[in-house]
Amino acid sequence: MQRKLEIPGRTKPYVMAHRGNRVQCPENTLVAFRQAFKDGADILETDLHLSKDGKFICIHDDTVDRTTDRNGRIEDLTSMEIKQASAFNHMPGFEEERIPLLEETTAVLPENVALALELKSDCFLEEKFCRQLVGELNDAGVLERTIVLSFNMTRILTVHKIAADMPIGLITMQRIIPPSQVDMVGPFFPILWLNPFYLRVAHERGLLVCPLDPVPETRLKHYLKMDCDAIITDNSAVTCQAVQDLLPTIHHTKGK
């Protein structure tokens, strides 16, 4: 039976730090991840690719071109070559930051923070790499609090073949009806307005809902009133504080 993503000691809506705190720090770096933990994020979201030498790399793009001082495709570079790049993402003062391996990310993950991994590569269509991923997460002691996400249903279902109880989540820009075979769904936020019954249907199907809206502040009050289960954000410091400020008001209004 597939388990649900529950974080002991944390209450919903969970705040999901999108690539760490990528406003204050370079995205997908250990400094961005640590800042998100300091901000109070409940879930760290990062992206996964596979290097030429078979290491899982936490980076969004399939190249290092945008966020580092080097060029090249992740799949064509070894992890050592990737580590030579500065992952400063053109932010002064962060020149020493490097692209983290998954093993480095899990090593700094606090015990009360969950991990959301967006599978960006088609290597996750192959069971051997999904088995490698599950094994690495298990060895790191974080498998029980990890969810895998993707825009590609086949990638997450392939992981599900290897670890049948592992939570999986579908991110979608178009589907206005919640899917039934996943644990979490991340609909592009206008879908919640196009289909006002989206949350109700999703919750009836046992799904967690996290709107795809990494700059959520102007719509945050609506998400809280809708009972969204998680809020993704580029700036976990601002969103964590806003949730704390707004929730008592929302609960008071609902209690009337």
DSSP state of 26: -
Quote the CA–CA distance of 74 and 50 in Å, as a whole number.
7
Q: For 76-86, b where at least 16 C-beta lie within 10 A, e where not — what string?
A: ebebebbbebb
Q: Which residues participate in catalysis according to the annotation?
A: 18, 60
Nearest 5°: CA angle at 245, between 244 and 247? 65
State which H helix or E strand residue 54 sits in: none
Contacts 24+ apart (CB under 8 A), 122-126: 122/152, 122/155, 123/49, 123/50, 123/75, 124/48, 124/150, 124/155, 124/156, 124/158, 124/159, 125/154, 125/155, 125/158, 126/158
Query: Hey, which bits of 151-223 come out as E strands?
Result: 168-172, 184-187, 208-209
Would you say 97 and 88 are in contact if contact means Cβ atoms under 8 Å apart?
yes
What the block records as the tokens of 103 is 């093993």
Residue that is written with structure tokens 């939570």 in the block: 167
